[in-house]
């Protein structure tokens, strides 16, 4: 995407043109989804069939509450960039600073208009025309135009974009691999042409990677934009200190009205006991990182509120087929796991057993006909280990050192020992877990305990992201791309996501998941859960369903 500097062509003559690369798709606690990009720019103008209406989170409430809300987060690198993932905390800051063309509230799973006030879709479902809202102001005082959209999305699609920081993860790159062109017919219109239909496009544009940045700020700061992020969201960047906090201030010009809060502080708090004591004392106003072990204590204390939110996240264990090449052994590992123990001891009952395999209960496509894929059978596991000649083999297990991961690792290590393996485990600091997951040469890459949180509530964001050999789960993590026949799942996933009949779509994802598990078994489901959202009793107006998915929508919150 070329820079739009003074004297350069107007948005109407700008198009995005880059060559496609292999798409990748990463998770959300310590990784992200990403890879791919776009193609050539051409002219369009096909008749529209579909027009969306409504508004995202309209009537934010304004109000005069004032004050500061302090949100405990997992970590911050002080780099807040939609194209660069370092921690959930940093991306939560992006959520507050920037908005996208579309918006999913998580109180409903349907995408609604946001910076785009409406859109149309061509008969062949390839051309989307977005009409931008007029008079939307960025925190730097500039006004939203199509040039801002082209610059923001273009850097996600183009790995050579000069505004990308080193190591940029570009979460919309997978979407970009399917984009033929991105153009601006005028200042308030953006046209996106796809190579193939994608009925999940509008939902994907609501994701953090789809957030729109001031082009003036991108031109000014370039690859350092993450230290000076400028958006149109309810809160503007104020300051940030790596390893400590990000401070945001309410934006008077937010299009839905100034938030009731004056300030929002995202503070790094990693010690579980400190999170609990800070909630009870009021030093922390809210968090979705409360330890499950404290749920009983917190529910009994009138100083705080514990929220019940939908089970939208997956606790998973990836199995690297390059390290564990025998299907029988991978199946034995899956059969050995005691999910009931993990649910009770690691999550303290806050969740559910994974009866729908990779689709959690809160999402469409959940099908309990897949419950057998996550059932413990130690006798069968032991037989498979012996048949494969793997009795006494050392299996290496890696897990992050925070939250539920250590207890789950302890339970799984014992389960695997019980069926004939020797188990070596390592506990990894969350800040370095991401890089180790990506390193197929890591000594502990046999088994990796992890989680997949929902940022786009659709089966494609779970099954589509993890079962495709072109994504990071299917390649760098599990090595499934080295297994014969596995690439066929990618075509099946494309067909499934574009089905319009809900019953047929569920059936398609069910068939894919069964084949994925029975023929390859590189994903072992541990539990479905909800991140534990807790706030002080004086906090109101939080979107807790979104916060449970690590999405930070606090424009209506007050203290």
Tens digit of pLDDT for each residue in 99-146? 999 999 998 889 999 999 999 999 999 999 999 999 999 999 999 999
Q: What is the mean pLDDT of residues 73-85?
A: 94
Sheet order of strands, 534-536 included: 235-241, 245-250, 263-268, 68-73, 286-287, 534-536, 304-306
Angle at Cα 448 formed by Cα 444 and Cα 361, nearest 5°? 175
Tell me the two tokens of residue 202. Answer: 């509008």
Tell me the CATH architecture of domain 313-529. Answer: Roll (3.10)
Least confident of 21-25, 311-315, 429-433: 21-25
Angle at Cα 410 formed by Cα 29 and Cα 468, nearest 5°? 40
pLDDT band at 66 (very low <50, low <70, confident <90, very high): confident
486 φ, ψ (degrees, to nearest 5): -65, -30
List Cβ neighbours of 503 (8 Å cut-off, separation of 6 or more).
none
> In angstroms, how far is CA 79 from the centroid of its own chain?
17
21: pLDDT strictly greater than 60: no
Q: What is the mean pLDDT of residues 494-499?
A: 93
Topology of the domain comprising 66-97+233-309+532-558: D-Maltodextrin-Binding Protein; domain 2 (3.40.190)
Q: Where are the domains of the chain?
A: 66-97+233-309+532-558, 99-219, 313-529
Contact 25/467 with Cβ under 8 angstroms? no
> 548 or 40: whose pLDDT is higher?
548
Tell me the two tokens of residue 310. Answer: 């939908």
* pLDDT at residue 457 in the model: 87
List residues bridging with 234 in a β-sheet.
none
Q: What number of CA atoms fall less than 13 Å from residue 325's CA on the CB side? A: 4
* pLDDT at residue 65 in the model: 61
15: pLDDT strictly greater than 50: no
Least confident of 209-213, 237-241, 469-473: 469-473
- CA-CA-CA-CA torsion sign (81, 84, 89, 91): positive
What whole-number distance in Å separates Cα of residue 121 and Cα of residue 48?
Answer: 5
Compute the chain's Rg from CA coordinates. 23
224: pLDDT strictly greater than 90: yes
Which runs of consecutive H residues, i.e. helices, occur in 322-429?
A: 327-336, 339-345, 378-387, 405-418
List Cβ neighbours of 108 (8 Å cut-off, separation of 6 or more).
none
pLDDT band at 402 (very low <50, low <70, confident <90, very high): confident
What whole-number distance in Å separates Cα of residue 510 and Cα of residue 504?
Answer: 10
Averaged pLDDT of the chain: 88
List Cβ neighbours of 226 (8 Å cut-off, separation of 6 or more).
79, 80, 81, 84, 90, 165
- Distance between first and last Cα of the chain: 43
Please return the burial class of 124, using the count of CB atoms within 10 Å of its CB with bins 0-12, 13-18 and 19+: exposed
- Beta carbons within 10 angstroms of residue 119's beta carbon: 23
Q: What is the mean pLDDT of residues 433-461?
A: 92
Sheet order of strands, 48-51 included: 48-51, 116-122, 127-132, 189-194, 179-186
Class of domain 99-219: alpha beta
* pLDDT at residue 85 in the model: 87
Considering the entire predicted model, what is its pTM? Answer: 0.81
Give per-residue pLDDT as tens, 323-374.
Answer: 999 999 999 999 999 999 999 999 999 999 999 999 999 888 999 999 999 9
535: pLDDT strictly greater than 90: yes
Tell me the two tokens of residue 39. Answer: 């193609």
């Amino acid at each position: 995407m070329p820079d739009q500097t003074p004297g350069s062509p107007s948005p109407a003559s700008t198009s995005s043109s880059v060559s496609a690369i292999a798409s990748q798709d990463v998770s959300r606690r310590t990784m992200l989804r990403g890879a791919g990009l776009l193609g050539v720019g051409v002219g369009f103008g096909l008749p529209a069939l579909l027009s969306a209406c409504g508004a995202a989170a309209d009537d934010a409430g304004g109000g005069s509450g004032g004050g500061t809300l302090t949100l405990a987060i997992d970590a911050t690198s002080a780099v807040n960039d939609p194209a660069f993932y370092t921690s959930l905390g940093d991306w939560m800051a992006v959520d507050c600073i920037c908005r996208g063309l579309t918006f999913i509230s998580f109180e409903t799973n349907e995408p609604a208009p946001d910076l785009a006030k409406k859109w149309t879709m061509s008969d062949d479902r390839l051309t989307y025309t977005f009409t931008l809202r007029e008079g939307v102001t960025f925190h730097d005082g500039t006004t939203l135009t199509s040039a801002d959209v082209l610059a923001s999305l273009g850097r996600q699609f183009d790995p050579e974009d000069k505004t990308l920081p080193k190591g940029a993860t570009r979460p919309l790159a997978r979407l970009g691999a399917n984009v033929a062109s991105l153009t601006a017919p005028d200042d308030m219109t953006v046209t996106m042409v796809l190579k193939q239909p994608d009925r999940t496009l509008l939902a994907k544009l609501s994701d953090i990677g789809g957030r729109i940045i001031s082009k003036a700020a991108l031109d000014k700061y370039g690859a350092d934009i993450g230290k000076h992020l400028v958006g149109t969201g309810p809160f503007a960047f104020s300051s940030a200190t790596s390893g400590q906090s990000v401070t945001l201030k309410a934006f008077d010009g937010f299009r839905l009205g100034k938030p009731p809060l004056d300030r929002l502080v995202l503070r790094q708090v990693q010690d579980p006991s400190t999170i609990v004591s800070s909630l009870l004392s009021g030093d922390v106003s809210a968090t979705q990182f409360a330890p499950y072990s404290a749920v009983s204590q917190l529910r009994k204390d009138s100083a705080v509120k514990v929220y019940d939110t939908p089970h939208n996240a997956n606790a998973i264990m990836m199995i690297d087929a390059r390290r564990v090449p025998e299907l029988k052994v991978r199946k034995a590992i899956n059969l050995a796991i005691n999910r009931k123990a993990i649910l009770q001891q690691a999550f303290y009952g806050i969740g559910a057993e994974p009866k729908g395999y990779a689709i959690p209960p809160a999402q469409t496509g959940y099908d309990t006909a897949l419950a057998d894929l996550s059932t413990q059978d130690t006798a069968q596991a032991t037989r498979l280990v012996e048949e494969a000649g793997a009795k006494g083999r050392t299996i290496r297990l890696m897990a992050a050192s925070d939250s539920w991961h250590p207890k789950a690792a302890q339970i799984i290590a014992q389960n695997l020992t019980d069926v004939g393996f020797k188990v070596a485990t390592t506990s990894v600091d969350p800040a370095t877990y991401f890089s180790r997951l990506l390193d197929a040469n890591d000594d502990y890459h046999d088994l990796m305990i992890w989680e997949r949180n929902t940022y786009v509530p659709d089966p494609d964001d779970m099954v589509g992201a993890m079962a495709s050999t072109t994504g990071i789960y299917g390649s760098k993590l599990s090595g499934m791309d080295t297994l014969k026949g596995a690439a066929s799942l990618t075509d099946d996933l494309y067909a499934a996501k574009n089905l319009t009949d809900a019953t047929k779509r569920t059936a398609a994802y069910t068939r894919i998941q069964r084949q994925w598990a029975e023929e390859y078994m590189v994903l072992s489901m541990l539990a479905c859960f909800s991140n534990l959202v807790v706030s002080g009793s004086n906090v109101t107006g939080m979107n807790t369903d979104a916060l449970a998915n690590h999405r930070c929508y606090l424009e209506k919150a007050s203290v």
